[in-house]
Structure 1
Amino acid sequence: MESFPVEIYEGLQHMSESVFVGLCEILGTSQQVTLRRETEDITDMMKRRLITYDENIEMLSGSQREGFRLYESDVDVMYWQNNQRVIMDMSQSEYYNTGNTTLILSDSSESPPGFTLLQLLTPTTRDIQSACVRMNDRVYISSSMYRQLTCSIAIPNSTVHGPCGSGNIAGRVEYDTAHCFVSDFWPLSASSWINRCHTWPDPEVVNDIVKNGCHFVAIGHPFGPLEYEEWRISFSRAEYKCVSAMNHSQFLTYGLLKLFLKEVINQQSEETNKLLCFYHMKTTIFWAIQQNTLPHWCPQNFLAGFWVCFKLLLKWVYEGICPNFFIPQNNLFLTKINGSAQTRLFLQLHELYKKGLACLLQSSSIRSYIIDVLYNPRAFVCTDESLVFMSELDFDVELFNKMNTGTNIVSDKHQCIKTIHLIEQWVDSRLTHCQVVMLQRLTASVLQTTAFILHNMYTNTGVNKQMYIADKMSCHMLKLAAKFGCISDMMYNAMYYYKTLRYREALSVIEMTKVKLAQPYLMYRRRVDRERYIEALGGQSWSLKMRQAVAWDIKLDNYTVFYISELIPEQQSAIKNRWPTLYIPVFVMLHFLEFLCYRHIDTTLSQAALDELQVLVHHNQGRYVHYLCRDIYWEILGICQQMTGNLQAALYSYQRSLTQYQWNKIQGATQRRIQDMIQSTPYQ
């Protein structure tokens, strides 16, 4: 197959640079991608340090972990038990205490490359035992049974998709959750990969990958006799390290391949649009980089890099072989791309190939960047990211939105103390500016949780001195958290004052919060007045911006503490649905607390707060309340209306809450409130 004669394109270098710039706008600059990874890395590092021996470890994987933020990109999360380990041979058992660790042996002697059986060696938990089968007088963990058992653990009502539990949130965000097993050892079947890494990745990266082992996900080889018992070896963590080792041109080439698959290849025919997947694109770029097919990956030859990858993919489809990057004997095309399907796909790809780089004009995302250069081939394109690609505000939105994701990382006083010690250690270490502000945010969160835990510990002791000291410490920690954190963190102070019957103090905090939330440069989620924000805070540190201009939703950690009595049924309902956090819009929580406090001081002002809450809920256009939080804000409005005796309005609000997407998993509490209200009143 002849190489594409790229020389025929006048201004090819400018076209490459133009597409490179366009993909920076679509996928992110190198600074953006670094920021995304760093924020995830420090949170991940904190979680790993705090995890106890018998808890689940959670790891974001896939495109989100790699640094992509493509529209419609799904969220992939892997889970594994910290006290369960897979070994590759029996000699490795000496590294573990079998008294508190479940040992599992990888037995790949009868499995195709890339797959293995998992033999249970030591006693284990009930969930694993119920997924075990006996073969040849040995006990093995069945992947199909384990997959069924764990499918909906992370998110209820998920459906099995490959090795994962899958679904979507409010019809918008798709997710895959995989419960798997981990090994601290590199599989023998992937040893050739180590010897193959002469130029990429660097030896330091290779060593880091190998020492971190691999995972095993619950799916077998569909053509093997042991499909329902086998497990697939997963290199998800290694793949993340490899993607992180790419330069930005290589990373954007990977992104372009993903866009090309979605917007061009998959639009050719319904018969073939499910044959290739993003993982094939990742495998293609890995091999292209490692085989050194392009000496220099840079903006000036960006499209040449894409073309190298496309030719390699076309060759693989022609041969029907896509070698796994870590275990080449594992042919990723074996199950789908063969026979007539392979022929049809090859013919479609070859037609695109014959068009040359003009085939990229079929991509809706990058077409305009090519056309601009075709009309003006000698136009200068600036590829200096620091000069052109990203504004200060874009960085801020990226960072602060990322910091708002995730749940609380501590669940008891011991973890709180351990976390504070960890933060003390990291303060003196070398951290990037991004990691510093992330650490600041984590500190505020830990102090808030510790304050409420401390209050709950000593409330019922009956010892006044202990209660007094605990209260002083809690108040001090909450004030510190408000100084470290963002505007909405002040609401935790108000909740604490309300919880401890100090209504005027709570109202004072609420009034201060109102003033800050009314600032014209407020950043709430991704909404911000760009001009006013830059005018007020341009050039300031992230720390200052977070304290003065940023607000997030209020998060109530269901497993740690009950914050205010009026929401206990909702937290209990979420716990029954295995949902860790209630997400409440800050503006809703502000009016809710104001209503609750004024009920004890001034009923007229209480009604005014309820009126404001009602206007917010009924006339929200998405500016102040996120669509995923509709279940909780209708619920809170109903609670307030019921407390004032307006039962008809309360019933309507509760019913509206039930019709929303159940993001907070509070429907059990809503149904009980409706039932109790109907039973206790003559209203029907």
Structure 2
Amino acid sequence: MNTSIYTNKESIQFYKYLCQKIGCEKVVKARRLKYTICDIAFHCQCPMISSGSKGEGLDLKGSDLDVMLIHPDFIVYETEPDALKRNKIYLVMETKDTPPCFTYLRLISPYNVLSISDRESFQKNGTQNLFSSELYKFNELKLATKYVPYLNKTHGPCVADANDDFDFAFCLKCDQWISAAYPWITRARVRWPSSELVSKIITCGVLFVPIGIKQSKNEGIEWRISFSIAEKMLIYSFTHTQLLCYSLLKILLKEIVENCKNLKGLLCSYFLKTLVFWISEELDPSVWRPDNIIPCYQSCLERLIYCIEYSTLLHYFIPENNLFYSRFSKEDREQLIKILRISYALGIRCFSVSSTLCDYTKCIFSPLSRNAKVMTEMVENVSFMVSISKLLFNLLHHSRTDLSRDIFTVFLSRAHQFAPQSQIGSRCISNKHQYNTYKHDISHLLIGLSSDAVSGWLFLASFFYRRKNYIASLHVINYALLKCTDDKIPVKVQPGFKIELNRTQYNVLESMQQEKLFKILKTVQINDLDFIEKSEIIPEELQLEVEERSTIIPAIPFAHFLSFLCYFHSCDLNSALVSMQQIMHIMNTNFTKDDFESFYVFAYPIILLGICWQMTRKTSMARRSFELIAISDKYKLTSAAIRLSRI
């Protein structure tokens, strides 16, 4: 098909449509900032890198969040260093007998410096100690499952949950650019990537992920060399048209090609990314513009068909590795090419059978303002503890746009909600110290009020409740509940959560389209309450929930539960019963069938209600509540089973 039949006007119209469906430049930037800020301020010894589609700024159907955690104790070198530092474990690459893009990792530190748990990941190979990727991944899975029970399987090099919503790759790092990828630095290219970007990329080094070549005799000790950091930087340098073309290929794969079950898994997003990288090197960046998006997409698809036909797609950084070598059987290749050629002939009309872009011909454009659309990107809450000092430093020194300052400020406010949660239990004897600690906690909680419309107030109310100041707690709860109106948008911490606005919420967002993102978020959003492990501001009646791990409780049911506790301990049983009835009302009116398919959404309101029944000596009702949750709680994420055993 001759792509010139598409006019510039049609391309621009399609571009605008894709901006609505996939995200405009500002929305994509907000997504990236959200995860970048998490990476910067992640409160853990392991440096974190968000990758996958969401880390790249995309949120398509089936998009996942891949998190790479870099082991801080291991350092990888390509050749043996002259000197070894203490408190680090040194490894050196051995690539003599490995395929391109794979390596063995040999221990060069003394074996006795390894901890007992680390020794379990090494195996002898003659006189050498080789780091086993298979054993390392198995040991990391055991550790992850201990703290996060639903991370219970491996998925490629990653530890994952049953639904593959989250992938955590525990990887190692070499701070230098490796010699196998040196030719990439000076390779002839038109204008992309720029020399400045190339220089920046090579300072980031490479990663090693624990996976070998399938069915290789040494699969268990091979490590794949990963250029994830470099690839993320390259994606970030794309024009928006480039990014949308890459998105179109991903939609084509996931929603059209993989509808043929026997083709599922033959291609993956990594191949498409590699393809777009190669094409981008060959073209002048000026080609990737909105009025040319359809021809650009068609050119990418044409190249993909060519690569499959000749079973050739070279690794972008190490071309000696042909990603399509022995990838397809004759039958699979023929069927794959047939589907792609039909899609090419149909042009963008092929997307009429995709779930994401099927309404293009209807020209449905959402009238939401850009600010409101950015706000909706914040609803999939990222529940990582982050460092206040890192956030503040980067806000002051590296935040140059209003959007980045707004998102940094929201994260900073949320970080202050965690700060006092580990303070109350460490009270010293002196009244002066207790007073200073009280002021310290209150100051953090007051800053935390700005994270959203309600959750900060409920953390403050819970803090007062723990200090038996029931009157102050009730004042704050009542104020928070007054803010829980129909225009507020509740945020659920669950994979793939999508916002659906009611008419009131839509009107409020439209009326605020000239406001800063930070003000919109703190005015209309309601976050869940994230209590850390052994939190000292969670009510004592909920201490079981945080004995071994952090927990997340929906805001409005928690508000009524906390109100119940205050009235109960103030001996106002009539008011306590009214608060119980409010929890039941929420369950009866606000929960849909879809909510009950999500364990997280309905579990805690029922547990809170069960505790209320137990405290009011309605034992049979309490037992029924805890039984309902215990049966569904296969990973023992709640205290339901323990509470049931104690009745």
Same structural fold, with TM-score higher than 0.5 when normalized by the shorter chain: yes
Counterpart Cα distance in 2 of 1:534 and 1:666: 35
2:411–2:451 contact (8 Å) kept in structure 1: no
1:444 Cα deviation (Å)? 2.5
1:507–1:597 contact (8 Å) kept in structure 2: yes
Q: Which residue of 1 aligns with 2:457?
A: 490
More deviation, 251-260/285-294: 285-294
Deviations 1:417-464 (A, max 9, x none): xx3476167336543222222332233333333333332221xx3322
| Aligned partner of residue 552 in structure 2, secondary structure | strand
| Aligned partner of residue 165 in structure 2, secondary structure | strand
Q: Which residue of 2 aligns with 1:138?
A: 128
Q: Which residue of 2 aligns with 1:38?
A: 33
1:647 Cα deviation (Å)? 0.6
Q: Trace 1:210-249 onto structure 2 (pairs within 5 A).
A: 210-222=202-214, 224-249=216-241
Counterpart Cα distance in 2 of 1:71 and 1:288: 25
| Aligned partner of residue 232 in structure 1, secondary structure | strand
Counterpart Cα distance in 1 of 2:444 and 2:114: 41
| Aligned partner of residue 216 in structure 1, secondary structure | strand
- 2:526 pairs, out of 542, 545, 551, with 551
Note closer, same or farther for the CA distance 1:617–1:484 as it changes in structure 2 (3 Å cut): closer
- 1:512 pairs, out of 479, 488, 511, with 479
Note closer, same or farther for the CA distance 1:152–1:28 as it changes in structure 2 (3 Å cut): farther
Task: Write the letter of the residue equivalent to 2:289.
Answer: C
Counterpart Cα distance in 2 of 1:276 and 1:515: 52
Q: Trace 1:520-599 onto structure 2 (pairs within 5 A).
A: 520-525=486-491, 526=499, 528=501, 529-534=504-509, 537-558=512-533, 561=536, 563-572=538-547, 575=548, 579=549, 581-599=550-568
- 1:65 pairs, out of 52, 55, 62, with 55
Q: Which residue of 2 aligns with 1:377?
A: none
- 1:114 pairs, out of 101, 107, 115, with 101
Q: Which residue of 2 aligns with 1:414?
A: none
Note closer, same or farther for the CA distance 1:446–1:73 as it changes in structure 2 (3 Å cut): closer
Note closer, same or farther for the CA distance 1:301–1:543 as it changes in structure 2 (3 Å cut): closer
Task: Write the letter of the residue equivalent to 2:305.
Answer: L
Q: Trace 1:622-641 onto structure 2 (pairs within 5 A).
A: 622=592, 627=598, 628-641=600-613
Q: Which residue of 2 aligns with 1:652?
A: 624
Q: Which residue of 2 aligns with 1:415?
A: none
Runs (5+) with no aligned partner, structure 2: 492-498
Note closer, same or farther for the CA distance 1:505–1:203 as it changes in structure 2 (3 Å cut): same
Counterpart Cα distance in 2 of 1:498 and 1:281: 54
**Structure 1: which 4+ aligned runs deviate by more than 6 Å?**
623-626
1:252 Cα deviation (Å)? 0.2
Q: Trace 1:3-14 onto structure 2 (pairs within 5 A).
A: 4-7=1-4, 9=5, 11-14=6-9
Does residue 102 of the first structure (1) align with residue 89 of the second (2)? yes
1:222–1:335 contact (8 Å) kept in structure 2: no
Counterpart Cα distance in 1 of 2:232 and 2:426: 42
| Aligned partner of residue 90 in structure 1, secondary structure | coil
Counterpart Cα distance in 1 of 2:416 and 2:342: 61
Q: Which residue of 2 aligns with 1:89?
A: 79
1:356 Cα deviation (Å)? 5.9
Q: Which residue of 1 aligns with 2:614?
A: 642
| Aligned partner of residue 480 in structure 2, secondary structure | helix
Counterpart Cα distance in 2 of 1:351 and 1:71: 23
1:557–1:582 contact (8 Å) kept in structure 2: yes
1:332 Cα deviation (Å)? 1.1
| Aligned partner of residue 325 in structure 2, secondary structure | coil
Task: Write the letter of the residue equivalent to 1:610.
Answer: M
Deviations 1:545-575 (A, max 9, x none): 3333321101101166463211111111xx2
Deviations 1:224-249 (A, max 9, x none): 43122101111111111111010000
Task: Write the letter of the residue equivalent to 1:671.
Answer: A
Q: Which residue of 1 aligns with 2:178?
A: 187
1:294 Cα deviation (Å)? 7.7
- 2:579 pairs, out of 587, 606, 609, with 609
Q: Trace 1:11-26 onto structure 2 (pairs within 5 A).
A: 11-26=6-21
Q: Trace 1:288-327 onto structure 2 (pairs within 5 A).
A: 288-292=279-283, 296-327=287-318
Note closer, same or farther for the CA distance 1:455–1:527 as it changes in structure 2 (3 Å cut): farther
| Aligned partner of residue 151 in structure 1, secondary structure | helix
1:19–1:366 contact (8 Å) kept in structure 2: no
Q: Which residue of 1 aligns with 2:415?
A: 446
Counterpart Cα distance in 2 of 1:422 and 1:359: 45
More deviation, 594-603/478-487: 478-487
More deviation, 583-592/160-169: 160-169
1:88–1:105 contact (8 Å) kept in structure 2: yes
Counterpart Cα distance in 2 of 1:225 and 1:666: 39
2:421–2:532 contact (8 Å) kept in structure 1: no
Q: Which residue of 2 aligns with 1:378?
A: none
1:84 Cα deviation (Å)? 1.5
1:142 Cα deviation (Å)? 1.3
2:76–2:174 contact (8 Å) kept in structure 1: yes
1:388 Cα deviation (Å)? 7.8
Q: Tell me how large the CA RMSD over aligned residues is.
A: 2.8
1:583–1:629 contact (8 Å) kept in structure 2: no
Deviations 1:137-195 (A, max 9, x none): 100111122222223544435222221223345xxx62322222122121211111111
Q: Which residue of 2 aligns with 1:206?
A: 198
Counterpart Cα distance in 1 of 2:392 and 2:286: 43
Deviations 1:35-80 (A, max 9, x none): 1112222232222xx65xxx22332211010011112222212222
Q: Which residue of 2 aligns with 1:333?
A: 324
Counterpart Cα distance in 2 of 1:35 and 1:643: 45
More deviation, 240-249/634-643: 634-643
Q: Which residue of 1 aligns with 2:166?
A: 175
Task: Write the letter of the residue equivalent to 1:608.
Answer: V
- 1:408 pairs, out of 373, 385, 401, with 385
Note closer, same or farther for the CA distance 1:249–1:6 as it changes in structure 2 (3 Å cut): same
1:39–1:434 contact (8 Å) kept in structure 2: no
Deviations 1:266-316 (A, max 9, x none): 33x433333111111111111111122785111211121112211211121
Does residue 163 of the first structure (1) align with residue 132 of the second (2)? no
Task: Write the letter of the residue equivalent to 2:93.
Answer: S
Q: Percent identity?
A: 24
Q: Trace 1:656-671 onto structure 2 (pairs within 5 A).
A: 656-660=628-632, 665-667=636-638, 669-671=639-641
TM-score (norm 2): 0.90
Task: Write the letter of the residue equivalent to 1:46.
Answer: A
Counterpart Cα distance in 1 of 2:3 and 2:395: 51
- 2:270 pairs, out of 259, 279, 282, with 279
2:75–2:90 contact (8 Å) kept in structure 1: yes
Runs (5+) with no aligned partner, structure 1: 374-380, 411-418, 678-684
1:285–1:309 contact (8 Å) kept in structure 2: yes
Note closer, same or farther for the CA distance 1:358–1:40 as it changes in structure 2 (3 Å cut): closer
Task: Write the letter of the residue equivalent to 2:640.
Answer: T
Deviations 1:88-119 (A, max 9, x none): 1113x64xx53111111111111000100011
1:451–1:478 contact (8 Å) kept in structure 2: yes
| Aligned partner of residue 254 in structure 2, secondary structure | helix
TM-score (norm 1): 0.85
More deviation, 490-499/442-451: 442-451
